[in-house]
Amino acid sequence: MDLQLKDKVALVTGAGSQIGYGKAICLTLAEEGCHIIAADIDFEGAKRTAAEAEALECRALAIKVDVTKTVEVDAMVAQTINKFGKIDILVNNAGASSELRPFMEMTEGDWQFDIGVNLIGQMRVARAVLPHMLARKYGRIINTSGGQGMPDISIYGAAKGGVVQFTKALAREVGDKGIFVNAVGPGLGKTGLVWRAPKEMLEGEKGASMLNRLCEPADVANVVAFLASNKCSYMMGQLVQLGTS
Ligand SMILES: NC(=O)c1ccc[n+]([C@@H]2O[C@H](COP(=O)([O-])OP(=O)(O)OC[C@H]3O[C@@H](n4cnc5c(N)ncnc54)[C@H](O)[C@@H]3O)[C@@H](O)[C@H]2O)c1
């Protein structure tokens, strides 16, 4: 199936991790013909991802951004519009977690961190990008959910649950204006976020998987590429959850 993504402009946050889902999303979209903006708080990582995307013969730009800072997010969008003239696709992939801790040992600073990056961060980037999509009556927004209801990451999970409800509501607000909003829920994978997780947790998740393996970046990237395309033509406000949970 040709996803018809040639010359679409895709902004991907959290694209700097060299073992993360964001980089795989950038490279898959680049292979499909998109131009790529690789944005991350880790600028060196973003530059490496952008360079690999460019080697796939697309145009690419690396931007340093902290999604918890409105000034930086607005500047990222302005820089993108300045260079590419439009944003067709936003992949709200940046995410992070405070230390694994039972709820009663977490600080309010931990709560603010988890919700600030994982929920408000995605809202902030969507708010900055949407006026440009609305002006052209075209857009694809893919938000990133994640593990919910899990011990020791309770507030991260609460933020990721919030992403699902935000996705549903926003899809209803802008769907009739040509903007499709959906979310992906990656399975547990050994990315930058998770590589320090206890071995038992990773083994347990692997065992629970029908495939007896963890989630790979390509598993996420292929789903995102579909959600970013016009082949996703009658699906809005949905969470595509990978894995068995
Ligand atoms: N790995 C998993 O098991 C898993 C499962 C479900 C959901 N997710 C989600 O997938 C997404 C990608 O994470 P990953 O697993 O590839 O981890 P990762 O750590 O490899 O990548 C996350 C990237 O986000 C960037 N980032 C963090 N805070 C940022 C900020 N404030 N501003 C800009 N960039 C920031 C990091 O620098 C990093 O490059 C995240 O939203 C994560 O919550 C991951």
Domain with 63, as residue range(s), is: 9-239
152 C-beta closer than 6 A to ligand 1:
no
Residue 18, domain member (yes or no): yes
pLDDT at residue 245, rounded to an integer: 63
Pairing status of strand 89-92 against strand 60-64: unpaired
State the average pLDDT over residues 231-240: 98
243 C-beta closer than 6 A to ligand 1:
no
Residue 101, domain member (yes or no): yes
The answer to whether 89 and 142 are in contact (CB under 8 A) is yes
16 CA: nearest ligand 1 atom = 39
pLDDT at residue 195, rounded to an integer: 75
How many independent structural domains does the chain possess?
Answer: 1
Residue 2, domain member (yes or no): no
Render pLDDT for 39-86 as a digit per residue (tens, 0 to 9).
999 999 999 999 999 999 999 999 999 999 999 999 999 999 999 999
Nearest CA owner, ligand 1 atom 14: 20
Render pLDDT for 206-225 as a digit per residue (tens, 0 to 9).
888 889 999 999 999 999 99
What is the pTM (predicted TM-score) of this model? 0.98
96 C-beta closer than 6 A to ligand 1:
yes
Residue 233, domain member (yes or no): yes
Give CA–CA dist 160/155, Å, rounded: 9
Residue 244, domain member (yes or no): no
117 C-beta closer than 6 A to ligand 1:
yes
157 CA → ligand 1 middle, Å: 13
Nearest CA owner, ligand 1 atom 6: 146
Residue 4, domain member (yes or no): no
Residue 183, domain member (yes or no): yes
Residue 196 burial (C-beta neighbours within 10 Å; 0-12, 13-18, 19+): exposed
Question: Residues with catalytic annotation?
Answer: 156
Render pLDDT for 108-147 as a digit per residue (tens, 0 to 9).
999 999 999 999 999 999 999 999 999 999 999 999 999 9
Residue 211, domain member (yes or no): yes
Q: What CATH number is attached to the domain comprising 21?
A: 3.40.50.720
